[in-house]
Structure 1
Amino acid sequence: MAHITAGVATSHVPAIGAALDNGKAGEPYWQPVFAGYEASKRWIAEEKPDVVILVYNDHASAFSLELIPTFAIGCADEFQPADEGWGPRPVPVVKGHPALAWHLAEKLIQDDFDMTIVNRMDVDHGLTVPLSLLFGQPAEWPCQVIPLAVNVVQYPPPSGNRCYNLGKAIRRAVESFPEDLKVVVFGTGGMSHQLQGPRAGLINREFDNAFLDRLIDDPAGQAAVPHLDYVREAGSEGIELVMWLIMRGALDEKVTVAHRFYHVPASNTAVGHLVLENALG
């Protein structure tokens, strides 16, 4: 059967993609950011997942205020990099895994999660930056990817508890898929940041690192934290962190921390990153 071996959590700052694409990764400002991912790039090269389920939020590339799915799963054969206003990122086309994606859609809907099934969708920096951070700049991505978009842009977003339970349901669905696949789940977004208003530029190191601690050791407790706490402590865009709980719900209750990284700043936010392994791998 298919099985989930590990989870990856990471920020998906658009400026990170721009730094990579424009050859600035080695500059003094950016070098500490990319250095924090070198261990993870080695790790995933050894892990060799067949499929990545990548949880992210769309930034008005595939969806808009006219259509706001709470949870959307990409079931297509492939997904083109989105043009976010300055042309698509020069990264490979994302190859999907329709068989597993449709299986997930069926099982999750039957498990009482109302998934929106998407058969055509461009994917923006929320999805492609995490792939670049873990896989570098290859001619093609070395695994198939299932996009799972979460609304954390327009109120109301899903609760942390809903996201955590969705992760548990994803694990059940993956383990009922008959093909022998190694699956890694990515939870992306965050960390503390606010893009507008009097608190623009907010970064809360204490909250961010406490979140990382609880995500590792007390995910159920973190899942109970209300939206208002994220907004107050981590800024209006800090709510993206609930997406990390989907990844965490898909893992064992107790996990091994293969890598942890935190850095300030990258553009106008903090960068957080975890690689968590299931006990049985």
Structure 2
Amino acid sequence: MARITAGIATSHVPAIGAAIDLGKTGEEYWKPLFAGYDWVKQYQAREKPDVVVLVYNDHASAFDMKIIPTFAIGCADEYAVADEGWGPRPVPPVKGHADLAWHIAQCCILDEFDLTIINEMAVDHGLTVPMSLMFGEPRAWPVKVVPIAVNVVTYPPPTGNRCWLLGEAIARAVESFPEDLNVQIWGTGGMSHQLQGPRAGLINKDWDRAFLDRLTGDPEALRHMPHIEYLREAGSEGIELVMWLIMRGALGPRARELHRHYHVPASNTAVGHLVLEPAGKEKP
């Protein structure tokens, strides 16, 4: 039986990918940020996940204003790396786990979540930057990926509670898959940042740190946080943090925090990172 063994949250700032690709990770500006991911690389080498259910948002690479699914699931065998205007990132193609993806789609749709099924999709920095942060620069990614794309670009985005409930539905689907798989679920995006308007460059360290605390210790409060609080406290792009609640919902009401990293700034963004395990999992 497949099982979700960990939940990981991380920002997916595009400049992080550029720093990796251009060999700048050891520079003074970037070194503290990347040092915070050394722990998780060792964790992944030890845990050896088979599949990652990777929750992210597309940045007009696979979707545009012609079609905006609230929740979409990739069910392909492979995903090309998107060209976001300066050529595709020099990273391996992303291998999918089509059987698990179709199983999750079927289970969630029958569980009354209307997922959009995608059979061909290019993936952008929202997905590839987290892969680089967790696994470095391998010749081939060591895991297969089930991408879950969430609309947090055009209003209305889904509520935190709806994201949490989708996480619960994904967990039920994974647990009913007959193959023995070590599955992780990742929530990506955030933390506080705003890219335009008079508040461009906004970073709210206190609010970000409180969000990290609540994600582990008081997730019930985050389920019902209104969109306006994300906008007011974390900036227009801070709404990406609702995607972390899909990950958190999949772990159940209680989770154990193994690692935390918070860094400001990366480009004009606050970077957050958490590694969580279900409370019932044995300690490593």
| Amino acid aligned to 1:98 | A
Number of the residue aligned with 1:103: 103
1:48 pairs with 2:48: yes
Partner of 1:163: 163
Is 1:65 paired with 2:65?
yes
- Structure 1 residue matching 2:5: 3-state secondary structure: strand
CA deviation after TM superposition for structure 1 residue 258, in Å = 1.1
Q: How many Å apart are 1:255 and its aligned residue?
A: 1.4
Match of 2:195 in 1: 195
What displacement does 1:257 show? 1.0
Equivalent residue number for residue 178 of structure 2: 178
What displacement does 1:58 show? 0.0
- Map of 2:38 onto structure 1: 38
2:251 aligns with 251
Give the SS at the match of 2:82. Answer: coil
* Structure 1 residue 220 displacement after superposition: 1.7
User: What's the offset of the Cα at 1:8?
Assistant: 0.3
Query: Once superposed, which parts of structure 1, at least 4 consecutive aligned residues long, lie more than 6 Å away?
Result: none
Counterparts of residues 232-247 of structure 1 (less than 5 Å): 232-247=232-247
Report deviation, 1:262: 0.3
In the other structure, the counterpart of 2:16 is: 16
**TM-score between the two structures when normalised by the length of structure 2:** 0.98
| Structure 1 equivalent of residue 281 of structure 2 | 280
- Provide the identity percentage: 71
Per-residue displacement from partner, 1:58-113 (whole Å, max 9, x unpaired)? 00000001100000000000000000000000000000000000000000000010
2:28 pairs with 1:28: yes
SS in 2 for 1:104: helix
> Is structure 2 residue 138 aligned with structure 1 residue 138?
yes
| Number of positions where the alignment pairs a residue of Structure 1 with one of Structure 2 | 281
Partner of 1:223: 223
| Equivalent position SS for 1:149 | strand
What code does the residue aligned with 1:129 have?
A: V
**1:8-60 deviations in Å (ceiling 9; x for gaps):** 00000000000000000000000000000000110111111000000000000
Give the conservation status (yes or no) of the 8 Å contact 2:168–2:252: no
SS for the counterpart of 2:185 is: strand
- Report the 3-state secondary structure (helix = DSSP H, G, I; strand = E; otherwise coil) of the residue aligned with 1:45: helix
Q: What is the TM-score normalised by the length of structure 1?
A: 0.99
Partner AA of 1:66 in structure 2: K
Can you give the 5+ residue segments of structure 2 that lack an aligned partner in the other structure?
A: none
Moved more, 216-225 or 19-28: 216-225
Q: What does residue 4 of structure 1 align with?
A: 4
* RMSD (Å) for aligned C-alpha atoms: 0.6
Structure 1: segments with no counterpart, 5+ residues: none
* Residue 246 (structure 1) shift: 0.2
SS at match of 2:242: helix
Contact 2:37 2:133 in 1 (8 A): yes
Could you list the per-position Cα deviations for residues 102-158 of structure 1 after superposition, in whole angstroms to 9, with x for gaps in the alignment?
Answer: 000000000010000000000000000000000000000001001100000000000
Tell me if structure 1 keeps the 8 A contact 2:159–2:242. Answer: yes
Q: Secondary structure at the match of 1:145?
A: strand
SS at structure 2 position matched to 1:264: strand
The aligned residue for residue 92 of structure 1 is 92
Residue 148 (structure 1) aligns with: 148
Distance in 2 (alpha carbons) for counterparts of 1:199 and 1:280 = 42
Rounded to whole Å, the distance in 2 between the matches of 1:213 and 1:110 is 34
Hey, what's the Cα distance between the residues in 1 that align with 2:254 and 2:227? 25
d(CA) in 1 for partners of 2:104 and 2:265?
Answer: 36
- One-letter amino acid of the structure 2 residue matched with residue 132 of structure 1: S
Equivalent-residue separation in structure 1 for 2:255 and 2:186 (angstroms): 15
Instruction: Tell me the distance in 2 between the aligned counterparts of 1:32 and 1:205.
Output: 17
Deviation at 1:252, TM superposition (A): 2.9
